[in-house]
Chains A and B, each alone.
Chain A
Amino acid sequence: MLEDDSGVTKKRTLPLSSLSVSFRSHEMGEVELSCLAYAKMYLHASQFPRCSVNGLLLSSSPAGGAVCITDCVPLLHTHLSLAPITQLALTQVDAWCSQTHQRIMGYYQANACVSDSSPTPCALKIAEKIFEQCNNAVLLMIDGEKMFPGCRVPPIVMYERKDARWALKDKHTIMLRQWEETCSIVNQLFSSGDQALLVDFDSHLDDITKDWTNQKLNAKIMELVSPANGNV
């Protein structure tokens, strides 16, 4: 584990012989956040800078193993605290997850008011519901004040369930693989205009031909992540 001066612990790709080290890591309560999940959350918050936005965090790794957020589904940018569309989105995402061998393991939100990144009652309620189904669920708040180009710290604050409340997670247990490469991928998405491809559930309801699973955008991001682009 390396620590740079931004306070975020970065992990280089480990050689095969050190695999046992990474399996032990989940006992320390570590949560890994993939580039795909991070990029789409960031794009979602950027697409609606004047609104609060939220979404679900997904994992394709088996329950009980290392906690890894592998993907996310952007949900809403209007009326986060109204029930019908949230319920609808949760059931649709849940159904899609069982088809695609993923599970909902967390919730993210970015508040419209940039100076306040604390979880709202609505965020806590939804996170609570997710925790009922998944006992290592996380709640992620995006810190709008840190979303500027060149910021060296990931603009996220994570909470986990401890003693019947949501407690701030030690940022040293939040793993972001290849943080610089992830930032560069996000920048590339903005410069190519591909950030406009992002569809959230709200936009899908406005126009049902739009795909809220973001297959197209996922493919673009995975292309940028692949070793062929030198982004390992």
Chain B
Amino acid sequence: MSSISELYDVCWEEMRDKLRKWREENYRNSEQIVDVGEELINEHASKLGDDVWIIYEQVMIAALDCSRDDLAWSCLQELKRQFPDSHRVKRLAGMRLEALERYEDANKLYDSILQDDPTNTAARKRKISILQAQGKSSEAIRELNEYLEQFVGDQEAWHELSELYINEHDYAKAAFCLEELMMTNPHNHLYCEQYAEVKYTQGGLENLELARKYFAQALKLNNRNMRALFGLYMSASHIAASPKVSAKVKKDNVKYAAWATSQISRAYQVRGCLPTSVGLHTIQVTFWPRLMSSNNCSN
């Protein structure tokens, strides 16, 4: 089997830089990280200088993701040797136990970290991940709420909590989490768009109007967000079709929907592909009416 450097004609510096990019942008392309990282470690460890340790950590986590316990174990040994008393390395050992589904042992390890250092956020988050892995969603939600009371600025945790609430169909609480995220990240179009989707799902005229506004906001921040564009079309169409709205509101929403339609058609034409449905006028939004919303427009 040829090496990565042969297959892709790259030198070790490019491989190291690629790993750094994936690390900094938090990509979870574990199979690629394992392929590139394993070769880098095996062939070029001596050239990496102090970078080698963070690469061991990155490759170890990716190896766990790909069930490569052999590779994870050898990375862990190198890190243990270099940093014998490190909490950070202990947490990695805990993650390996999690991957082996030895949750009790993993929890013991994390508890020992927390005894030494009660502010260790990584260990607390791992304990919550174990609850999720075991399917204990309500406990995970409870623990995550407690965590956020102490560490109110942890974006990652707020987002994780919004995902948990969405899975539990607790849309109101999911919306609350997303509101926190939008406040601290006002330029992030993805949070706006997710918030709009949650509002749309909650249903009811007021929520649909909010949804439409936040889909529009997401588009303002990123005009290529297709979910926001379709979402704008669908929420405006639903509002226009509601018997409860005034003639003016109806007219305005018909206009918004028409604008969205033209933007969608243009997007497909510009990218050189036609939507595989016959045409947007056949998107009969009422055909699958109010799927999953608890209340609908006529309430």
Q: Give A residues with C-beta under 8 Å from B.
A: 50, 79, 81-88, 90-92, 94-96, 99, 113, 115-116, 121-122, 125-126, 129, 205-206, 208-209, 211-213
Contacts and interface: CB of A to CB of B under 8 A. Distances in A.
The 9 A-B residue pairs with the shortest CB-CB distance, nearest first, are: A95-B277, A83-B201, A82-B197, A83-B292, A90-B288, A92-B277, A205-B226, A84-B200, A84-B231
A116 B135 contact: yes
Interface stretch (B13-21, B107-115, B246-254, B268-276): B268-276
Given A79-B197, A83-B201, A84-B230, A92 B167 contact: no
Given A82-B201, A84-B234, A95-B282, A205 B227 contact: yes
A62 B80 CA distance: 64
**Interface of chain A: mostly helix, strand, loop or mixed:** helix
Given A125-B291, A208-B271, A87 B285 contact: yes
A85 B135 contact: no
B287 A94 contact: yes
Contacts of A95: 277-278, 282-283
B60 interface: no
B287 A84 contact: no
13 contacts: A81-B167, A83-B201, A83-B291, A88-B230, A90-B287, A90-B291, A91-B288, A95-B278, A95-B283, A113-B135, A126-B292, A208-B273, A211-B276
B178 to A, nearest CB: 11
Interface residues of B, number: 39
Nearest to A99: B278
Given A87-B288, A208-B226, A96 B200 contact: no
A84 to B, nearest CB: 5
A81 B292 contact: yes
Nearest to A121: B169
Contact of B293 (A83, A99, A205): A83
Contact of A92 (B196, B203, B276): B276
A209 B283 CA distance: 19
A129 B291 contact: yes
B41 to A, nearest CB: 24
Given A92-B275, A95-B277, A205-B226, A81 B282 contact: no
Contacts of B167: 81
B235 to A, nearest CB: 8
B166 interface: yes
Nearest to B215: A84
B99 interface: no
